[in-house]
Amino acid sequence: MKSLLLRHAQVLVAGLGRLCRHPLSSLLTLGGIGVALAVPLTLYVLVQNLSSVFGDFGDTPRMSIYVDRDAGERAAGLLADRLRDDTQVDRVTLIPRDQGLAQLFDLDALAPLRGRLVENPLPDVLEVMPIAGLDEGGYRELAARLARMDGVGDVQIDLAWVARLRAVTELVAVVVQVFWVLLLGGVAMVISNSVRLSLVTAREEIEVISLVGGSEAFIRRPFLYSGTLQGVIGALVAVVVAMGVHVLVAPALSRLMEAYLGMSTVSFASASTLANVVVASGSLGWLASWITVSRYLRQVLPR
């Protein structure tokens, strides 16, 4: 057992040595893998950030309740208190009709109308943020229930916004998955090609080892190690590249999220995600080199 471990360690070191002996080609291979994997990783981080924000806000449609204008001045405040006690309501913000009008006049297009209206045409408005986690039907039911309350004139609910957001996030998530598959496939091909090149270079060595009684497993082992190493190191390069991209992009993303959603924390991929990427890439490297070496050995060692 110990000698087996020792032999594996020797081959691992030899594999690293092999990579170091051809620095340029190793660099190109590792760089290729790194850049290829950095693309889906970056996209993934982006989607993750957006969907974490949507998870907080986006899935929950805001409702605007227009208070019945005949209900009197204190009705809006009373209604707001009643709504705050409702178990399906998270937050309520009262926008009195005067404030609403003032906000309206702040818009450039409507500014010339300021002071020219005889009467404020707006009702008092309650911005209601329902609790999260209901489905579309649930929110519709809630809106209908609120509409039946005393003093409620009308309820508007923007489910279309939620549907649009969901569609966009789902689309991007699918795109990210497709990119993962495509680019991991690319990684397998890059590693396979690089292993193939080193096999051709080592043809004499392979034949001699085979003739003095080296098993195929023995011959295969260093190539499996170098393929796996390329996958692992390539993925580490990808992590570094994606981190670099993240540093460049994060401020802009943060501003965008601040502007749209009032949230500005942008996070990078979690350690477990990064570990998964490294493990997946390493496994692919192993698999790609196994197939490549086995195919090659069948060609050069005919029986």
Is residue 209 at the binding interface for another protein, with CB under 8 A as the rule? yes
Q: Is 7 in the site for another protein (CB under 8 A)?
A: yes
Choose between 149 and 202: whose C-beta lies nearer to another protein: 202
- Span near another protein by CB under 8 A; candidates 66-74, 190-198, 200-208, 288-296: 200-208
Q: Which stretch binds another protein (CB under 8 A): 35-43, 96-104, 105-113, 199-207?
A: 199-207
Helix (H) or strand (E) holding 155: strand 152-157
Q: Which is nearer to another protein, 222 or 231 (CB)?
A: 222
CA distance 83 to 256: 32
**Smallest separation (angstroms) from another protein to the CB of 9:** 11
CB atoms within 10 A of CB 245: 16
Q: Which of 66, 62, 57, 61 is nearest to 126 (CA)?
A: 66
| 59 contacts another protein (rule: CB under 8 A) | no
Query: Residue 87 phi/psi, 5° resolution?
Result: -70, -20
Q: How many helices (H) and strands (E) does the chain have?
A: 9, 4
> In the complex, what is the shortest distance from the CB of residue 204 to another protein, in angstroms, rounded to a whole number?
7
Rg (CA), the chain: 31
* C-beta separation of 126 from 67 below 8 A: yes
Min dist CB 2 to another protein, Å, is 10
* Choice between 3 and 272, CB closer to another protein: 3
Residues in contact with another protein, counted by CB under 8 A, come to a total of: 17
Interface with another protein includes 303 (CB under 8 A)?
yes
Report the run of H or E that residue 233 belongs to, with start and end.
helix 216-261
- Which residue among 110, 132, 208, 247 contacts another protein (CB under 8 A)? 208
User: How many CA atoms lie within 13 Å of 289's alpha carbon, on the beta-carbon side?
Assistant: 26
**Tokens encoding 74:** 């204190």
* Shortest separation between residue 7's beta carbon and another protein, angstroms: 8
Of 74 and 303, nearer to another protein (C-beta) is 303
Percent of residues in the chain assigned helix, strand, coil, to nearest 5? 75, 10, 15
Q: Would you count residue 3 as binding another protein (CB under 8 A)?
A: yes
Q: What is the 3-state secondary structure (H, E, C) of 34-55?
A: HHHHHHHHHHHHHHHHHHHHHH
CA-CA distance, 69 to 97, in Å (whole number)? 10
Work out how close the CB of 186 gets to another protein at its nearest, in angstroms, rounded to a whole number: 31
Give the span between the Cα atoms of 108 and 128, in whole angstroms: 27
Is residue 164 at the binding interface for another protein, with CB under 8 A as the rule? no
Near another protein in 211-240, by CB under 8 A? 211-216, 218
Which one of the spans 3-11, 139-147, 255-263, 287-295 is the region binding another protein (CB under 8 A)?
A: 3-11
200 binds another protein (CB under 8 A): no
Q: Which residues bind another protein (CB under 8 A)?
A: 3, 6-7, 204-205, 207-216, 218, 303
